[in-house]
Amino acid sequence: MGTYHAKINDMAKSEDTVKLIIGKELKIRFKSLCVQAETDMSAVVKDLVAVWCDEQEKKLAMERKKSNSA
């Protein structure tokens, strides 16, 4: 097995599934827009979740900094 396939297998092992429940109309809109953007829904959600996590970590760090300086 080549290096490329080893990397793909490692990536697959490090991923997990998240079940998301959204309205049917929103799902149809989301899927349609992903197709138009030539991307897949998982890639979009991964990016959005990563951005949200970054924002929350910054927010928590700022709150800790404020409480430590008070």
* Domain ranges for the chain: 3-69
pLDDT at 70 over 80: no
End-to-end CA distance of the chain: 57
What type of residue sits at position 11?
A: M
C-alpha 51 chain-centroid distance: 7
What confidence score (pLDDT) does residue 7 get? 62
Higher pLDDT, 38 or 14: 38
- C-beta separation of 31 from 41 below 8 A: yes
Identify the band that residue 68 occupies on the pLDDT scale cut at 50, 70 and 90. Answer: confident
Longest Cα–Cα distance of the chain, Å, equals 57
Three-state DSSP state, 48:
helix
Model pTM above 0.95:
no
pLDDT digits (tens, 9 = 90+) for 21-66: 999 999 999 999 999 999 999 999 999 999 999 999 999 999 998 8
